[in-house]
Amino acid sequence: MTKEDVVRLFDEHEKRWARLPTLDILSWHSFPWPMLTQPNDPEALTYVGVQAYVLSPHWPGEKTQKERIKDLLRKWHPDRFETKLLPKVREEEREQVQEGAGAVARHLGKLLSSLAISAENGLFG
């Protein structure tokens, strides 16, 4: 992807997050999965893919990597996601979306932990 493609993707994801609460029915493809390429199922939501998205040098704004991860964790955390968004997902896709959201939350948690460890070891500023 070019820098412009990535910038457009981040912009589109922000718009989709803003639109989600206004929709009555959601599906797998309603969600702005934190990947540079659209995953088709939970198995495609890899740690490496989420890491590439979150740590992209083309991320908009001035947020630190840690702030980005925490913002995304707030959106994908099961306590919030499963009460606010999951009930709106089509029943036939609900399990798949729940599994995907859980994978994203786990990957983000692991990434946050690895950043903290790297910071302790002086690898990141």
Mean local confidence (pLDDT), 1-24: 95
Is residue 124 pLDDT above 80, yes or no? no
CA distance 104 to 99: 9
Q: Terminal CA-to-CA distance of the chain, rounded, Å?
A: 27
* Residue pair 73/105 in contact by the 8 Å Cβ criterion: yes
Query: Over the stretch 74-118, which tens digit does the pLDDT of each residue have?
Result: 999 999 999 999 999 999 999 999 999 999 999 999 999 988 666
**Residue given tokens 């925490």 in the structure block:** 70
**How do residues 61-74 score in pLDDT, each as one tens digit?**
899 999 999 999 99
Instruction: With cut-offs at 50, 70 and 90, classify the pLDDT of residue 119.
Output: low
CA dist 83 to 43, 47, 87, Å? 23, 24, 7
Q: Rounded distance, CA 57 to CA 48, Å? A: 15
